Amino acid sequence: MENVSSHKHFILNGFAELGELRPVVFVPFFLMFAVALLANSLLLYVVVSRRSLHQPMSVLIASMACVDLCLPVFFVPNMLLSFLFDWRGISLIGCLVQMHFIHFFGTFQSTLLVWMALDRYFAICTPLYYHERMAPQRFLKFIIPLVVRNVLIITLFVGLAGSLSFCSGVINHCFCEHMALVELACGSTAINNLAGLAAVFFIPVFDFLVIAASYVVIFSCVLRSGRSGTRALHTCVTHIIVITLSLTVALIAFLSYRVKNSLPAAVRVFVSTMYLLFPSCFNPIIYGVRTSEIREQMLKMFVRTAPQT
């Protein structure tokens, strides 16, 4: 009898349908990777180097840039090499480590939006106590619980995935995505499916509900006070659009494995890849360029470094 637990080495077979055209995919993904690295590095440099930007919201935006800078590093280089040189092998341990880091950093994209929503709540609804409540020692009580939640949930479903026995060694994906690995298991995966569903509900869905509730309170506060809500509306709508798009793509990527007979494999791979890579490219624009203080500092930096004629 075949030892079903013998698969400890896997082949990442994403976009195999393209055949000899697979290397062509290298170009768009490389360009997106380059944009993510350059844009987020620039945003981090501007915030760190300008003392006037050492404020809570700017620090949170810099934290988002740090997450968006680190996240693609854990899967895009390996994916690009597989497109060019057909280097597609990965061990089970390497797969689980990659999975853990991808999902761990991925969760912080929505978690940071929660912290930004809290910042806006304190700034708009309790402006007199803003600096007191956003002091690091006080704000930690909002940071630590969400960090612990992310670590526990990610560690749980990655550990459950690593305990499975696998009947196949071919992962139909470009990196070690949780459900792409779980679907190779020989036995029942009900617990793994439940853990994945719980992760979606308790992280992005929960974060979305907290953000939505906080902005409802913010809008109510602005309307009751009679103050102009233009700036508050601008910031809040931007955050809501980002979290709504992120949650929608996350749910599509998650549910695509439940309706896989209706979707081509390449579509599932593309959606789940873009879910991770797309925000890293466009968050610096949304949170950097659209934030007036950061935009002004960027313009000053470019003006100073421009060659004089």
- Go through the domains of the chain in sequence order and give each one's CATH number: 9-305 (1.20.1070.10)
pLDDT, position 75: 92
In whole angstroms, give the CA distance from residue 252 to residue 250: 5
Between CA 38 and CA 41, with CA 40 as vertex, the angle to 5 degrees is 65
pLDDT, position 148: 93
For residue 46, what are its two tokens?
């501007």
DSSP H/E element including 241: helix 230-255
End-to-end CA distance of the chain: 79
In whole angstroms, give the CA distance from residue 177 to residue 63: 24
> Which residues, given as ranges, of the chain have pLDDT below 70?
1-6, 226-236, 254, 256-263, 290, 304-309
pLDDT, position 1: 38
Q: Do 214 and 118 contact (CB within 8 A), yes or no?
A: yes
pLDDT, position 306: 56
Cβ-count burial 40-60 (b if 16+ within 10 Å, e if not): beebbebbeebeebeebbbbb
Burial of 162 (0-12, 13-18, 19+ CB in 10 A): middle
In whole angstroms, give the CA distance from residue 247 to residue 201: 10
Residue partners of 215: CB distance under 8 A and separation at least 6: 117, 120, 236, 239, 240
pLDDT in tens, 228-264: 555 556 666 777 777 777 777 777 776 766 665 566 7
Angle, helices 56-73 vs 292-305, to 10°: value is 70
In whole angstroms, give the CA distance from residue 106 to residue 226: 38
**Side chain identity, residue 219:** F
For residue 103, what are its two tokens?
């999902």
